[in-house]
């Protein structure tokens, strides 16, 4: 049985004092969940969030990293730096980074490799635009993105990766993919992984859904055959709402 994972992506929100207050409030609300709870926070919140989440079941992730370890890359943060302060997870290739910061399937692949080399667990994002969906190309787009993201990775490495399917038209719009559509898309990612690796690897990889996940739709999404949890944006900024998503059962 795959475990369920609920990851919040705060995007560019929350000051350090707000992050600490949020984690303090969330801690008792999620302490008995069987699910894995992750908060992916802005760089400046990482250290404060790590301190506040010590001795809790809340794990902390970053939202991006550079693929080089160090060097003349003004404004960037490396995987080695994230690891050095105790970060465990890192989102790679979110559609907002692909759209606004020119990330490509190639940089996504480089970042995943660098994350793994630094013993960080990447949450790699894939997802189609509305135009691609309307042209009937959604499955083709996401299986291709999956293949390119995982290029040259061994099946041992795959066991430390999660993939989040986030249809771009569902992010921040209030439009959620139906649980059936989302499950089918995620199933196609699992089938692609079976093709690239083997059945056991495909059956064990954690695949998340993201895009307007809320307390009211989380149970329906997360109890389908192939969706193992969610990457939650807006609803992860409200502690009550997020705790309900974590406790969706």
Which of 78, 145, 212, 247 forms a contact with ligand 13P (CB under 6 A)? 212
Residue 241 is among the residues annotated as catalytic for this protein: no
Going through 93-173 in order, the beta strands assigned E by DSSP cover 121-126, 162-165
141 part of the interface to ligand 13P, by CB under 6 A: no
Which residue number places its CB atom closest to ligand 13P?
Answer: 233
Q: Which is nearer to ligand 13P, 202 or 248 (CB)?
A: 248
Of 148, 172, 42, 41, the residue nearest 95 (C-alpha):
172
Which of 58, 150, 231, 245 forms a contact with ligand 13P (CB under 6 A)? 231
Please give the C-alpha separations between residue 14 and each of 37, 71, 241, in angstroms, as whole numbers.
Answer: 18, 29, 16
Q: Are 193 and 201 in contact (CB under 8 A)?
A: yes
Q: Which is nearer to ligand 13P, 155 or 238 (CB)?
A: 238
Of 43-51, 180-188, 197-205, 227-235, the window that binds ligand 13P (rule: CB under 6 A) is: 227-235
Nearest distance in Å: CB 10, ligand 13P:
9
List 36, 94, 103, 241, catalytic entry: 94
Going through the chain in order, the beta strands assigned E by DSSP cover 5-9, 36-40, 58-62, 89-92, 121-126, 162-165, 206-210, 229-232
166 part of the interface to ligand 13P, by CB under 6 A: yes
Which of 19, 158, 171, 189 forms a contact with ligand 13P (CB under 6 A)? 171
Residue 180 is among the residues annotated as catalytic for this protein: no
> What whole-number distance in Å separates Cα of residue 240 and Cα of residue 162?
25
Q: Which is nearer to ligand 13P, 126 or 171 (CB)?
A: 171
Secondary structure of residue 145 in the 3-state scheme: helix
Q: How many residues does the chain have?
A: 249
Q: Which two tokens stand for residue 103?
A: 């990330």
Query: Tokens 């990775």 appear where?
Result: 153
Nearest distance in Å: CB 210, ligand 13P:
4
> What whole-number distance in Å separates Cα of residue 146 and Cα of residue 72?
30
Q: Are 67 and 107 in contact (CB under 8 A)?
A: yes
233 part of the interface to ligand 13P, by CB under 6 A: yes
**Residues in 78-117 that interact with ligand 13P by CB under 6 A:** 94
Q: Which two tokens stand for residue 105?
A: 């399937």
Q: Which is nearer to ligand 13P, 28 or 172 (CB)?
A: 172
**Residues in 191-210 that interact with ligand 13P by CB under 6 A:** 210
211 part of the interface to ligand 13P, by CB under 6 A: yes
Catalytically active residues, by annotation: 94, 166
List contacts with ligand 13P (CB under 6 A). 9, 94, 166, 171-172, 210-213, 231-235
């Amino acid at each position: 049985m795959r475990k369920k994972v609920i990851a919040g992506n705060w995007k560019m929100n929350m000051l350090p004092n707000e992050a600490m207050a949020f984690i303090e409030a969330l801690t008792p609300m999620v302490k008995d969940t069987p699910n894995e709870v992750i908060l992916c926070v802005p760089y400046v919140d990482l250290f404060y969030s790590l301190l506040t989440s010590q001795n809790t079941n809340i794990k902390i992730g970053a939202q991006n990293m550079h693929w080089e370890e160090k060097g003349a890359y003004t404004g960037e943060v490396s995987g080695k730096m994230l690891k050095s302060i105790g970060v465990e997870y890192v989102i790679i290739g979110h559609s907002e980074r692909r759209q606004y910061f020119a990330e490509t399937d190639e940089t996504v692949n480089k970042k995943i490799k660098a994350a793994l080399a630094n013993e960080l667990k990447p949450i790699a994002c894939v997802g189609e635009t509305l135009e691609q969906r309307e042209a009937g190309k959604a499955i083709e787009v996401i299986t291709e993105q999956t293949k390119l993201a995982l290029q040259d990775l061994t099946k041992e490495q795959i066991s430390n990766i999660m993939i989040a399917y986030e249809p771009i038209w569902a992010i921040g719009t209030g439009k959620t993919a139906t649980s059936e559509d989302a499950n089918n898309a995620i199933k196609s990612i699992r089938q692609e992984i079976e093709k690239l690796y083997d059945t056991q690897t495909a059956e064990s990889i954690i695949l998340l859904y993201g895009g307007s996940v809320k307390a009211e739709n989380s149970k329906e999404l997360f109890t389908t055959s192939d969706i193992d949890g969610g990457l939650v944006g807006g609803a992860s900024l409200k502690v009550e709402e997020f705790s309900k998503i974590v406790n969706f059962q």
